[in-house]
Chains A and B, each alone.
Chain A
């Protein structure tokens, strides 16, 4: 029973080269075991840090919404962003299966128009990059919604003063607006990171546990997929809390800095 238990957890958590080590270390259950399983999940951490790309796209899109002069279109886009940000979870996973799955709409369309089969080239919605695309769906509107108040706190008088002193558009953005916006952007990034780090339903509904993510591993261990091991589940949860506390403390520090310039 013991080697089976170890192999079961090893399948979901580590690279294949670590499997023999895992079985050998089965007896000394301690924090070293948890540390090992955490190291095996570093790709997952990288996955969340990948959301550094999102703030750029989301910030630019938010600026686009902010700059819209037609009021009804702006309100419509804000409303749609909040709906899309709220759509996360099980329905989103199946929406993406319907879009980019093996017989999905976009997959079939690309096959018919460009005669390129996505799945033959190794792309899969059920792997790492597919999951990144699905997470992006609800992270981008969240970024837009969180950045809009920061952008509307940029006073037009600053832009006028900068132009008055001879600054070009680019100089204004580089010297005046971007440093003021930077705390808000970092706070938004931390919020996105915390949001995606704790997201479980989307990943679980998409691949039913074939992706190595910490929440899915916690679910396996607590729900008795191979065995019920509350100790490992608790340890993983504490690790999650530590990382999230770091992110949330960054968030509050940045919000406090941003409030200086936003005058609240």
Chain B
């Protein structure tokens, strides 16, 4: 109510930054009492940080003091470089395949059949109902050449072709496709959020009215605007595949997590240093997501999706 012209409290939207207002009855007037939620938060954060510190110490300490040469020995290991390269190849393949498959699909659904979106949301929940281990068992059964006639007909003859003629079981291409299935919710959700944040229909219609076709509108108009979602999806898929252990074990393909597991069975110190490397890699990926998504105003603010590598 001041004459100076500050806005009254009613017209000011209560956001998380200015709520509760500083001089109102709703602030915690007794400053000495810390709420139970802050205590719980502090305990949780402590619980999350202690293993990281312990692992760092455990990896570097070989009983003779801090010793960085353990990292030299790790990098000189030929198995390490071989599995890292295998994992990187699989991760790149899965990422590219997933993004290339899902982005035009999500755009087309958003444009043409927005009512099918609940169906796609439900489909993106399927990897939670069918975890990696179940998927692996199913795929192994399917492509080992003993599938029934119903599956042969339903897949239009592709399954017998792939399993009998091309012998696709236990090979990297099948693993890449399985990774795409697992990463599907983490790819679909950010891209869908990005598509909803921009006004897709209006942009597309404007592009059409100026004479561009479907692909040109998609590639030059929509794609630059949903770039944060695509980057987020790609980084999530990449970090999921780099840390994925279940499928690789059951398909008997030697990737980095399997190497980590083998090392850990023999030498816990080396395993601890490798775990720190893994953590730094995950840190870089998630930081990339957070930084890149925040750069554009079209990105989903603060909502970082989670990928569970289990």
A residues with a Cβ closer than 8 A to B are 57-58, 60-61, 63-67, 69, 71, 75, 77-99, 101, 103-106, 136-138, 140-142, 144-145, 149, 152, 156-157, 159-160, 163, 191, 194-195, 197-202, 204-205, 208, 215, 218-219, 222-223, 230, 233-234, 237, 240-241, 244-245, 247-248, 251-252
Of the residues B26, B141, B260, contact of A159 by C-beta under 8 Å? B26
The distance in angstroms between the C-alpha atoms of A63 and B285, with both chains bound, is 26
Whether B36 pairs with A60 at a CB distance below 8 angstroms is yes
Q: Does B191 count as interface, using CB distance less than 8 angstroms? A: no
Whether B268 pairs with A98 at a CB distance below 8 angstroms is yes
Q: Which of B52-60, B68-76, B153-161 contacts A (4 or more CB under 8 A)?
A: B52-60
Q: Does B302 count as interface, using CB distance less than 8 angstroms? A: yes
Whether A197 pairs with B57 at a CB distance below 8 angstroms is no
- Distance (whole angstroms) from the CB of A81 to the closest CB of chain B: 8
Whether B129 pairs with A94 at a CB distance below 8 angstroms is no
Whether B125 pairs with A251 at a CB distance below 8 angstroms is yes
Whether A252 pairs with B125 at a CB distance below 8 angstroms is yes
The distance in angstroms between the C-alpha atoms of A105 and B59, with both chains bound, is 11
| Leading 6 A-B pairs by shortest Cβ distance | A198-B131, A64-B41, A105-B54, A201-B245, A98-B58, A64-B37
Q: Secondary structure of the A side of the interface? A: helix
Q: Which of B52, B129, B132 has the most CB of A within 10 A?
A: B129
Q: A80-B45, A94-B260, A222-B136 are in contact. List 7 more A-B contacts (CB 8 A).
A: A64-B40, A65-B41, A78-B304, A92-B51, A92-B275, A140-B44, A144-B44
Collect the chain A residues with CB atoms within 8 Å of residue B261's CB. 90, 204-205
The distance in angstroms between the C-alpha atoms of A77 and B51, with both chains bound, is 17
Within 257-280 of B, Cβ neighbours of A (below 8 Å) are at 257, 260-261, 264-265, 268, 271-272, 274-275, 278-279
Closest to B263 in A: A94
- Distance (whole angstroms) from the CB of B144 to the closest CB of chain A: 9
Q: Does B14 count as interface, using CB distance less than 8 angstroms? A: yes
Within 16-61 of B, Cβ neighbours of A (below 8 Å) are at 16-17, 19-20, 25-26, 35-45, 47-48, 50-55, 57-59
Collect the chain A residues with CB atoms within 8 Å of residue B304's CB. 78-79, 82, 145
Whether A88 pairs with B309 at a CB distance below 8 angstroms is yes
Whether A98 pairs with B54 at a CB distance below 8 angstroms is yes
Of the residues A63, A79, A140, A202, contact of B290 by C-beta under 8 Å? A79
The distance in angstroms between the C-alpha atoms of A247 and B129, with both chains bound, is 8
Whether B271 pairs with A86 at a CB distance below 8 angstroms is no
Q: A67-B35, A97-B268 are in contact. Are A198 and B132 (CB under 8 A)?
A: yes
Collect the chain A residues with CB atoms within 8 Å of residue B278's CB. 87, 90-91
Q: Which of B25, B274, B308 has the most CB of A within 10 A?
A: B308
The distance in angstroms between the C-alpha atoms of A71 and B310, with both chains bound, is 31
Q: A61-B44, A67-B35 are in contact. Are A94 and B302 (CB under 8 A)?
A: no
